Structure 1
């Protein structure tokens, strides 16, 4: 099914249209529970009357994420936070990553607001800001298929309708689950059995009538063969409408990448006569000397010239303005700020008791997800040239060109291709996994589980309208201006002329591009667990497992992505070169865990347990490595638990890091005067030493004075490295859980948990960020105090030989330095029965829940011999607030409840306060968003839910000091929005 793109001002049509007034009226009568709960807490999720999971029947053993050993007491040595299905629904979002990212342990990664230049469409999770490749995502304790060469899981594949709860353990878990679990594990637990049919639907829309989201699902299940077998299936459809920058006033003044005002002319070192420039601009009434010969010139629609610096003689009007003293086009209106998505999901599971002690099971899941991202209009990068014979050259420009030292030489021309269709990156994902296995009981409390799975992700990415630079150059060089090639020829001089380009010429210079990615994953794993022998404090329990896993990756880009021979760029505007890439990795593993009860019912402890784990992994690349853990939980007395542990974890290099062929990626570096290229004449601290270094590293001497960098992005070339070694991490946790038992009803249901975490990663696998290469070459962080042009970081940069613009930065994968982060997680739960407080009979309950994180440090060391930089409390190069909290207060009575949620982020400095402390960009103030969430259980079979997100319509904050620039994954760009959902069971 093809996706329908949103028209500029078209209001979204939903199957349930909501107006502000009607939604608010409905919301006041509906209800919702609290978003989170700790597994150790005896307080049930806020807004519910159910007992907590801990208080399940004592005969039931439960497997908690972070261990393969089932325990009856449901107490984990590591801090675990749980979300249930109702709490996910409470966010009003139809994509699960948006709900999870509201927890303070997560830093937003790819999702609905990410808009990369290609490769989008995924939804990923990132614990502690250590990266999605260091966060392991599981479904019922088993690995999901990966969606890229970098072993990241696209959580779009998870069947939302079947998710019963989500358990999050933040901190290393490699000893239990293997590689990729350095930051922790997110385990989605699904319902195991179902008898009946469940229909669920939800619709949401902003108060501006756009940003609509819809979701509908049907789930059915039944038992057969007298209860020996069961089968369950679920299907769902999700739709998310596109939101463009033009739909939000915040983006009116945003400066996009490649900010040419239509088209520009750069003279480079072949400069014109100052007298001639003065005479031409003097005819416009501009004072002599106002436009130096180093100026970049552009064009008004009447054919007159303008100077880009300070916008002298600009007549371009709306849509253009000054940024850092330079005229730019505010084309962010054409960018996607919330990507459109259509998603179809299917899930099936069956099990059958072959005998009283053996059960065979199988499941299959398939998701088709198609997203679209628009990224304004491409620009002519690297700069092209036009000959003086071009017939479309305006007369005033021709006069200036004739005064150059070499009057007949071609001149540099830059261009924004406003005449072409807007670029859409279309990303259809086909994700599939089939799994089958047997589990059973071997007697003497010994159980086993053996399964095999195969997963495949196929991505057929399309770039709808790429511009071929060679064809543009052909038209520019044609003596007749290209009239003999396409109707009317090609006039690039000015916006009006560009927009008048014929359809034939547009078709001649543009082409769609198609690339295909296939990622396969095969897993075979078996485990056995049970009791070894009995100690005075209880049974020693164990778990043993062994497994084999293989990942394969194959990438086939369009042939036009190949670089031009002898150049670093492809024959495409704003599109980076790529090569075919393929490779595979495999690992064989054995692992074991022990749960040792040390004390029970003694005078020093109600219980004291020790948990030990070890895993040996033999990687095809990286060799043999060991991971291990030691954890303890000590219940001193009922309601007073101490816990903590240590884990030595690893992350093996993935297929992408090992085998990536040279691949072009565009990254943002910012613009002068506080960021971007230090060779820019507007750069605040362009000292004599920096100027000398610019010349020594390839900048053309005649072009340096007056140089203005024309784009805030730079091309980088990423390459794989087969010599990579596994990352090594060490995690420490220590915490206390207080759940005192007081007789007074005011204090009867209180729980407080405080947990310290410390995660350090050594030999981190990464590419050098382009901005870091620039900062280190030009000594902005003290890395090159002698301004040595032979510095390793300077050698990674390449410049255009005519204009001096940065054309490429090489960024290969290396085992670089590392990360170190630490902080404190705090959770407080309270519930009050208002009847017990004497208010009235059947007065209902009031629940309060707060989960917060205090970040102490987030240290990054790019190279082992480089200084350590602490990004805690900054935004720009990540999102690392000192304080982040999510709080809910809910009133419930019977089947009805209503509550409020408060999301809080502390104020932040800009990351340039760390990377370029001499000239940092502006930071952000604290940010608070309030939501109203409600639910009503009308009958035992019918339930409604609804809410208002961002009730106060809090605007996003400016990040980096530039108007219209924010972090859309952090700050709310949609604004006030409403949702309404219903669930019916049969």
Structure 2
């Protein structure tokens, strides 16, 4: 095999698409709008650009396309494709092992790495592999990029604009097309390990692939696999920035004391819970604690400042804030993937192919500790210490209210935190034919089968009815028994002693706690055929056309344990349902050249596409796209598109009868934070979301031999307006809108006997509008330093003018929101920059990447002194609604040990967060926003690559 292991100066030029077929990634990188070089075979030598179905030499698409070469992954030692992509400004890192936190994986694939363009949601970004749909990794419809072996990825093409007319549903915010290297000969292997400066989040990666040609190169076979073991990062308290115990805190007296209703506080600890138990009422016994052995302590509880029903500032004991103490900063994920591809040229004009892949991930997560602030114990409970019962009798107290939490780690002496074990398996096989008809005409047809199986079991979860019976204990003839057993001797109830630490029996624990489980199964069948070619040779070039048909059937089945189906568990409740969705599609596309080499236009082309889709669930819908490319002079190109795009509802959105998850919310009536049960469900009457998308941009690529020759600059504007957005209001959104007077939402809120929120209900509807506008900028420049030396510079930027959701309560613009309040909606930075410098000096390469996230709002629904309309007497006021920005620096390096030998060996490494920059304090479900800011700290990766 000829050539270096790294075919370019790593990242910068690999990010840009090539302007002409002959250009290799090692050349100066032109704009990102045109076709990259495609691999060829005797049956198909055309270039197909993601974002269009058209093929032809020199075709330039009006839709912005960014090409990420395999060098982007290797440059900074990313362990998977998703880790490399999410650093680009147009992607949002919302679903990843570092953002799972306390998730029990009930809604989808726990530990998955989903790709999300524009922050519109991963289900609005279509992921393709070699131009074909990949089987979804969950019934939510998104694809886990972890399950595609990075070693076999040749390049990834990212369309940052609507492409439903070309590819169908889900291509609202864009398309990610992962193109595999299925034509190489020889073998390649990688071995890599990593660890953080804190000694956790250890990672191990091993991958290998072989490729061969046979039958005089008529046959080509490739097989490759990848195994990765990413260990957990400890909890938030393992990092110094979290030692301050940060949390958003509420001020109940905000209406009269002149201070904001919310503020970010430090040293926040539980006020109504301890590990062994604390009495919260009546007032005469408030603050009396239990010792670990269950006896009554003589030392009263040390209350901090402003204690509410759950938290306080100071007092108590350091490290007892369960929101920070329990969740991993990165959950452990072990994954394996295998992919093979066989192609054979039956004749000079006809070839057959079969491709198959298998992916598996095994994930563990630590969820929430038991936290109970309002348990009740009667004076009849024999587990109460005798001296306490005597006090109660003397004061004529019939019962007490007490609180306690469980262990924060697994394997302790008390009640373990909930912990999920999930396994996902994905299989895909596709086979078909492709060939030439006559002249430039080519065709392909294939059948694809895919399946996904996912199971998650959540251990140590409270069984609500059993738990309530087990803690209501009285004296029986042979010792403590459940009160329920007096009237139902065969109910199986075991009395549970929660006073002290670990004072309960195993039988009682097994009765009150258990393991809910859920399963998701998806089977997908796809049959498709496409044809492309030149309809006519016109005055300015060929009239290129493409057309095709596709039939797709998705069969879904979900199952869950019997208790979960009736919402009997505190967490991890699942549902049982099944159904199928059939989709029939037909499309056509054409490109009409109007001028080429004319005085008024070096190039002028218009492009159009239309697709008609018929869903068995919601009926027919039509999508379309119109585009234009205008190059007045060589090196200056203008482009624009307008399209109508759709996203069809997923199986879960349509069929799910309902599920329950826990979450923290703020009750605006009292301005107190509580833990509530959140109910969500599907809706079989949902319709596809419909988006109207505009893009317009300019590309400058001077060329020639002057100082500007290596310059490549593109600036693109986008505007995506999504109507009928399928959504449920967030739990906090429902509460806030109810408080603001939207009466129909108040019926979705349930309160307990203390008039505190205990449940919030929501169902999916086509009721929202979602729109975003912004600008993408890409700049590339190369310095040639000698015969085997160069410096490549690349700048990627994204400015977001709007990211607005409109619902019945009004509009909320989350552009510029870089924090997240509990279960509130996430936002995006107002702007983001990613600057990369890559230096190559002979056998040595180094890549320096800088990523900047500016100062932003903590939460868009809150109003601080920095915002217009601030009033401390408003429930949505906050003492400061700004959090700091951060600059992250990453360094990659490599040395080719055997550059010209048949077997090439390379040593490489990378240091992410080189300067060990701490994230800003922005507490929500953890101490910061992990979807934007690094929570692990400085991390080292080292490895070796071999190619032959």
In structure 2, the residue matched to 1:357 is 349
TM-score, normalised relative to structure 2: 0.85
More displaced 10-residue stretch of structure 1: 387-396 or 152-161: 387-396
In structure 2, the residue matched to 1:118 is 105
Q: Is the 8 A contact 2:780 2:792 kept in 1?
A: yes
Shift of 1:582: 1.7
Structure 2: gaps spanning 5 or more residues: 1-7, 248-267, 408-413, 483-491, 864-874
Q: Is the 8 A contact 1:31 1:935 kept in 2?
A: no
In structure 2, the residue matched to 1:638 is 634
In structure 2, relative to structure 1, the CA distance for the partners of 1:933 and 1:32 (3 Å cut) is farther
Shift of 1:225: 1.8
Kindly report which structure 2 residues correspond to 1:61-80, keeping only aligned pairs within 5 A, or say none.
Answer: 61-80=46-65
In structure 2, relative to structure 1, the CA distance for the partners of 1:330 and 1:257 (3 Å cut) is closer
Shift of 1:128: 0.3
In structure 2, the residue matched to 1:232 is 222
In structure 2, relative to structure 1, the CA distance for the partners of 1:726 and 1:587 (3 Å cut) is same
Local SS of the residue matching 2:907: strand
In structure 1, the residue matched to 2:583 is 587
How far apart, CA to CA, are the structure 2 residues paired with 1:610 and 1:655? 37
In structure 1, the residue matched to 2:410 is none
Q: Is the 8 A contact 1:47 1:890 kept in 2?
A: no
Shift of 1:724: 1.2
Q: Is the 8 A contact 1:907 1:925 kept in 2?
A: yes
In structure 2, the residue matched to 1:934 is 893
How far apart, CA to CA, are the structure 2 residues paired with 1:75 and 1:170? 15
Deviations 1:682-741, CA, capped at 9 Å, x for gaps: x3xxxxxxxxxxxxxxxxxxxxxxxx65x4x42211111111111110110000011113
Local SS of the residue matching 2:849: strand
Local SS of the residue matching 1:89: helix
Query: What is the Cα-based RMSD across aligned positions, in Å?
Result: 3.2
How far apart, CA to CA, are the structure 2 residues paired with 1:619 and 1:358? 33
In structure 2, relative to structure 1, the CA distance for the partners of 1:580 and 1:325 (3 Å cut) is farther
Kindly report which structure 2 residues correspond to 1:829-908, keeping only aligned pairs within 5 A, or say none.
Answer: 829-835=780-786, 842=787, 844-863=789-808, 866-875=809-818, 876=820, 877-908=825-856
Kindly report which structure 2 residues correspond to 1:534-545, keeping only aligned pairs within 5 A, or say none.
Answer: 534-545=537-548
In structure 2, relative to structure 1, the CA distance for the partners of 1:32 and 1:591 (3 Å cut) is closer
How far apart, CA to CA, are the structure 2 residues paired with 1:490 and 1:428? 32
Q: Is the 8 A contact 2:28 2:710 kept in 1?
A: no
Local SS of the residue matching 1:874: coil
Q: Is the 8 A contact 1:47 1:892 kept in 2?
A: no
Deviations 1:135-193, CA, capped at 9 Å, x for gaps: 10110110011122221111122121110111111121111111111111011010121
Matched, 1:548 2:551: yes
In structure 1, the residue matched to 2:456 is 461
Shift of 1:872: 1.1
In structure 2, relative to structure 1, the CA distance for the partners of 1:604 and 1:465 (3 Å cut) is same
In structure 2, the residue matched to 1:953 is 916
Kindly report which structure 2 residues correspond to 1:221-370, keeping only aligned pairs within 5 A, or say none.
Answer: 221-245=211-235, 246-252=237-243, 253=245, 260-262=273-275, 272=282, 277=284, 299=290, 303-304=297-298, 306=300, 310=304, 322-323=312-313, 329-331=320-322, 332-370=324-362
Local SS of the residue matching 2:735: helix
The counterpart of 2:382, out of the listed 361, 373, 391, is: 391
How far apart, CA to CA, are the structure 2 residues paired with 1:728 and 1:521? 24
Q: Is the 8 A contact 2:23 2:37 kept in 1?
A: no
In structure 1, the residue matched to 2:568 is 571
How far apart, CA to CA, are the structure 2 residues paired with 1:325 and 1:129? 40
Matched, 1:799 2:788: no
The counterpart of 2:521, out of the listed 518, 521, 528, is: 518
In structure 2, the residue matched to 1:197 is 187
Shift of 1:955: 0.8
Local SS of the residue matching 2:468: helix
How far apart, CA to CA, are the structure 2 residues paired with 1:973 and 1:954? 9
Local SS of the residue matching 1:817: strand
How far apart, CA to CA, are the structure 1 residues paired with 2:381 and 2:68? 65
Q: Is the 8 A contact 2:496 2:509 kept in 1?
A: no
In structure 2, relative to structure 1, the CA distance for the partners of 1:305 and 1:729 (3 Å cut) is farther
Local SS of the residue matching 1:73: coil
How far apart, CA to CA, are the structure 2 residues paired with 1:348 and 1:141? 16
Matched, 1:758 2:719: yes
Kindly report which structure 2 residues correspond to 1:909-928, keeping only aligned pairs within 5 A, or say none.
Answer: 909-914=857-862, 917-919=876-878, 922-928=881-887
Shift of 1:212: 1.3
How far apart, CA to CA, are the structure 1 residues paired with 2:95 and 2:768? 24
Shift of 1:927: 0.7
Q: Is the 8 A contact 2:37 2:47 kept in 1?
A: no
More displaced 10-residue stretch of structure 1: 654-663 or 73-82: 73-82
How far apart, CA to CA, are the structure 2 residues paired with 1:587 and 1:544? 17
In structure 2, relative to structure 1, the CA distance for the partners of 1:626 and 1:257 (3 Å cut) is farther
More displaced 10-residue stretch of structure 1: 463-472 or 525-534: 463-472
How far apart, CA to CA, are the structure 2 residues paired with 1:298 and 1:99? 51
Local SS of the residue matching 2:72: helix
How far apart, CA to CA, are the structure 1 residues paired with 2:737 and 2:307? 38
How far apart, CA to CA, are the structure 2 residues paired with 1:251 and 1:376? 18
The counterpart of 1:809, out of the listed 754, 757, 760, is: 760
Local SS of the residue matching 1:775: helix
Q: Is the 8 A contact 2:593 2:606 kept in 1?
A: yes
In structure 1, the residue matched to 2:662 is 666
More displaced 10-residue stretch of structure 1: 325-334 or 750-759: 325-334
Q: Is the 8 A contact 1:447 1:530 kept in 2?
A: yes
Deviations 1:186-239, CA, capped at 9 Å, x for gaps: 110101212111111211111222211111111011112222111111111111
Shift of 1:911: 1.6
Local SS of the residue matching 1:629: strand
How far apart, CA to CA, are the structure 1 residues paired with 2:473 and 2:388? 18
In structure 2, the residue matched to 1:433 is 428
Shift of 1:907: 0.8
How far apart, CA to CA, are the structure 2 residues paired with 1:760 and 1:650? 11
How far apart, CA to CA, are the structure 2 residues paired with 1:956 and 1:352? 52
Q: Is the 8 A contact 2:21 2:58 kept in 1?
A: no
The counterpart of 1:828, out of the listed 764, 779, 787, is: 779
Matched, 1:979 2:936: no
Local SS of the residue matching 1:369: strand
Q: Is the 8 A contact 1:266 1:413 kept in 2?
A: yes
How far apart, CA to CA, are the structure 1 residues paired with 2:140 and 2:39? 42
In structure 2, the residue matched to 1:286 is none
Equivalent pairs, count = 863
In structure 2, relative to structure 1, the CA distance for the partners of 1:414 and 1:41 (3 Å cut) is farther
Local SS of the residue matching 1:855: strand
Local SS of the residue matching 2:930: coil
Structure 1: gaps spanning 5 or more residues: 1-29, 281-294, 315-319, 564-569, 670-675, 684-707, 785-790, 836-841
Q: Is the 8 A contact 1:39 1:74 kept in 2?
A: no
Q: Is the 8 A contact 1:241 1:339 kept in 2?
A: yes
Shift of 1:577: 3.4
The counterpart of 1:37, out of the listed 2, 15, 39, is: 15
In structure 1, the residue matched to 2:76 is 91
How far apart, CA to CA, are the structure 1 residues paired with 2:355 and 2:587? 25
How far apart, CA to CA, are the structure 2 residues paired with 1:46 and 1:873? 38
In structure 1, the residue matched to 2:257 is none
Shift of 1:652: 1.5
Deviations 1:455-474, CA, capped at 9 Å, x for gaps: 11111211122233444334
Local SS of the residue matching 1:664: strand
In structure 2, relative to structure 1, the CA distance for the partners of 1:174 and 1:325 (3 Å cut) is farther
Deviations 1:3-33, CA, capped at 9 Å, x for gaps: xxxxxxxxxxxxxxxxxxxxxxxxxxx9854
Q: Is the 8 A contact 2:727 2:768 kept in 1?
A: no
